[in-house]
């Protein structure tokens, strides 16, 4: 019964004292968007992984094909926020027509936004298609680039997106360099979204696909939390949104920590939203900040998790 009650709660994400933390969905297809957008349980889309459109094809989808899918997603979330991520191919998501099969270290190679160096027309077509979808629907998508490492990349991406008439432009923070220089990155863009899956991989120098190293890749590693904290601080200082769209956001205990660090939105698979909403609502912003401090003070991932659990309100 409790699960059903939680699932029926469609109030926006808030701490107990009313500080908003937007609860958003991660999607990969127009069908995902239709499902997640049907109710009002999520406030929008925090990560639309557009690479799904490009996978398992011999050639890239055309501008028209892409525009149609983007418009469908925007219509499913009319009036709500939709963050579209530009193509994140390479590494664990190879593409026949874009990525280089012979890279020795693909996770460190030409992936994500870096594809603009080798196949610039892919990004240009995608931004044009997104602008077409914007014109066709009257909705204003947010757009962000994956795997950005430097403020110069952020500036170049923002300029390209704005040239196409897209007005709210951001980048993912999933490379340690971007987290360390979040203030300079935020000077170039309107928002950032932390990809904690890749951030953990690169901070811990641990392949995210190697199960036997999962203790190092743990989302509770204090070094990962440090970089999330630094990025959230930079967002607050700039007065710009700094969200999380990696798997961390779907963990209700971690969600309280993230809210306590000042993260402004949490994007996750739609099914994880009810428990996260509940956990947030049991804590004031000050209590969430205490939970975050407890986790940051720990010296290992299991200790950080245990410390956060001990600091939670007893209702959770
Ligand atoms: C991430 O890296 O945390 C992220 C959200 O992107 P992806 O999992 O698609 O690499
Ligand atoms: Mg990523």
Please write the tens of the pLDDT for every residue from 208-246.
988 899 999 999 999 999 999 999 999 999 999 999 999
Q: How far apart are the CA of 50 and the centre of ligand 1, in A?
A: 12
pLDDT band at 7 (very low <50, low <70, confident <90, very high): confident
pLDDT band at 2 (very low <50, low <70, confident <90, very high): low
Is 245 an active-site residue? yes
Q: Which atom of ligand 1 is nearest to the CA of 245?
A: 5
The b/e string for 192-207 (b: 16+ C-beta within 10 A; e otherwise) is: bbbbbebbbbbbbebb
Q: Which atom of ligand 1 is nearest to the CA of 198?
A: 2
Contact 204, 7 (CB under 8 A): no
Ligand nearest to the CA of 266: 1
* % of the chain beyond a pLDDT of 70: 99
Q: Is the ipTM of this complex over 0.90?
A: yes
Q: What is the pLDDT of residue 4?
A: 67
Q: What is the pLDDT of residue 1?
A: 59
Entry pTM: 0.96
> Does the C-beta of 139 come closer than 6 Å to ligand 1?
no
Least confident of 7-16, 119-128, 259-268: 7-16
Q: Which two tokens stand for residue 89?
A: 């191919």
Whole-number CA gyration radius for the chain: 19
Q: Is the pLDDT of residue 153 over 70?
A: yes
Q: Which two tokens stand for residue 90?
A: 């390479």
Neighbours of ion ligand 2 (CB under 5 A): 174, 195, 198
Q: Give the mean pLDDT of 190-197.
A: 98
Q: What is the pLDDT of residue 92?
A: 74
Catalytic residue among 23, 67, 122, 245: 245
């Amino acid at each position: 019964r409790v699960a059903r009650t939680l699932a029926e709660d469609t109030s926006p994400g808030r701490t107990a004292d009313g500080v908003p933390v937007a609860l958003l969905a991660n999607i990969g297809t127009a069908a995902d968007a239709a499902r997640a957008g049907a109710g009002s349980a999520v406030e929008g889309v925090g990560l639309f992984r557009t690479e799904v459109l490009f996978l398992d094809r011999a050639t890239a989808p055309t501008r028209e094909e892409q525009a149609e899918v983007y418009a469908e997603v925007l219509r499913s979330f009319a009036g709500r926020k939709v963050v579209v991520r530009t193509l994140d191919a390479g590494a664990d998501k190879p593409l026949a027509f874009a990525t280089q099969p012979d890279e020795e270290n693909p996770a460190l190679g030409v992936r994500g936004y870096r594809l603009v160096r080798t196949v610039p027309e892919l990004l240009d077509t995608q931004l044009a298609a997104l602008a077409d979808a914007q014109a066709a629907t009257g909705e204003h998508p947010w757009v962000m680039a994956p795997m950005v490492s430097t403020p110069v990349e952020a500036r170049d991406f923002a300029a390209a997106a704005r040239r196409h008439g897209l007005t709210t432009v951001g980048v993912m923070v999933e490379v340690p360099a971007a987290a360390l220089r979040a203030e300079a990155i935020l000077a170039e863009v309107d928002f950032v979204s932390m990809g904690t899956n890749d951030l953990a991989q690169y901070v811990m120098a641990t392949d995210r696909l190697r199960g036997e190293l999962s203790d190092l890749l743990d989302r509770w590693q204090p070094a990962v939390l440090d970089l999330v904290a630094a990025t959230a601080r930079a967002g607050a200082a700039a007065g710009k949104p700094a969200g999380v769209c990696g798997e961390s956001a779907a963990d209700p205990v971690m969600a309280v920590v993230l809210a306590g660090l000042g993260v402004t939105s949490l994007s996750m698979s739609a099914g994880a939203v009810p428990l996260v909403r509940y956990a947030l609502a049991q804590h004031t912003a000050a209590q969430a900040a205490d939970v975050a401090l407890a986790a940051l003070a720990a010296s290992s991932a299991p200790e950080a998790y245990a410390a956060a659990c001990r600091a939670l309100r007893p209702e959770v």
